[in-house]
Amino acid sequence: MVLQPKIPDSLDVLYSVAEFLEFNDTIKECTIQDDVLKDFTLDELVIAYSKIKNVTFESSNLPKSYFNDVIFENCDFTSTNFEKSTLKRVKFINCKFAGTLFTSSYLENVSFDNCLMLGAVFDGSSINSTEFSKSSLEQAILSNVTFKSVDFNSCNLQESNFSNSSMSGLDLRTCDISGIITYANDIKGVILTSQQSLSFIKLLGITIID
């Protein structure tokens, strides 16, 4: 079960997030809406106990960020770098992550709902108690990832790369796994439909002749 963000009922309104971050590195107990933070660079950005809606973070460089108890809705993180970041109790709704880097990051109690994640990179990350729901992770890089209590519900995983990631316990029955990339040692314990299992037959060196 994914824990939901804990956000106060009363939040301050933050205007012009780019100007605010020129002199601060922490956003706390705020609501931000209809703003742009594009091509921005800041190490160790902290966002906590906040709601963020319709904000563009496109092509920003934000490594080692820390997000705790945050809801992002309709936000654009295209080509944003979140390398070595930590996300705890964070919810993303209708967000864009095309080419977004979460390399070597830590995710716990995070939910991605109806998100576009074409080519998103999670290589080397630890993903715990997290849910991907009705999201497109086509060509996403999920290699060298440690999964624990992770759910993929009705997701597009076409040509996604799970190499060197144990898929034990992952239930992919509602997902499109066409062209998925992985190794034979990785698929032990994965849960599939009988039709989906045919995609992994070649990895096991099995030839079926009717």
* pLDDT mean across residues, the chain: 94
Q: What gap in Å lies between CA 119 and CA 96, rounded to an integer?
A: 11
* Triad 112, 24, 97: Cα angle to 5°: 20
What string of H, E and C letters represents the secondary structure of the chain? CCCCCCCCCCCEECCCHHHHHCCCCEEECEEEEEEECCCCECCCCEEEEEEEEEEECCCCECCCCEEEEEEEECCECCCCECCCCEEEEEEEECCECCCCECCCCEEEEEEEECCECCCCECCCCEEEEEEEECCECCCCECCCCEEEEEEEECCECCCCECCCCCCCCCECCCCECCCCECCHHHCCCCECCHHHHHHHCHHHCCCCCC
The answer, yes or no, to whether residue 162 has pLDDT greater than 90, is: yes
Predicted pLDDT of residue 5: 97
Q: In CATH, what number does 29-204 get?
A: 2.160.20.80
Predicted pLDDT of residue 209: 66
The answer, yes or no, to whether residue 199 has pLDDT greater than 80, is: no
Predicted pLDDT of residue 200: 75
Higher pLDDT, 161 or 201: 161
141 forms beta bridges with 121, 161
The answer, yes or no, to whether residue 205 has pLDDT greater than 70, is: no
The answer, yes or no, to whether residue 204 has pLDDT greater than 80, is: no
Predicted pLDDT of residue 184: 85
The answer, yes or no, to whether residue 125 has pLDDT greater than 90, is: yes
Find the mean pLDDT for residues 89-111: 98
Find the mean pLDDT for residues 122-141: 98
Share of the chain above pLDDT 70, in %: 96
Q: What gap in Å lies between CA 183 and CA 205, rounded to an integer?
A: 11
pLDDT digits (tens, 9 = 90+) for 31-87: 999 999 999 999 999 999 999 999 999 999 999 999 999 999 999 999 999 999 999
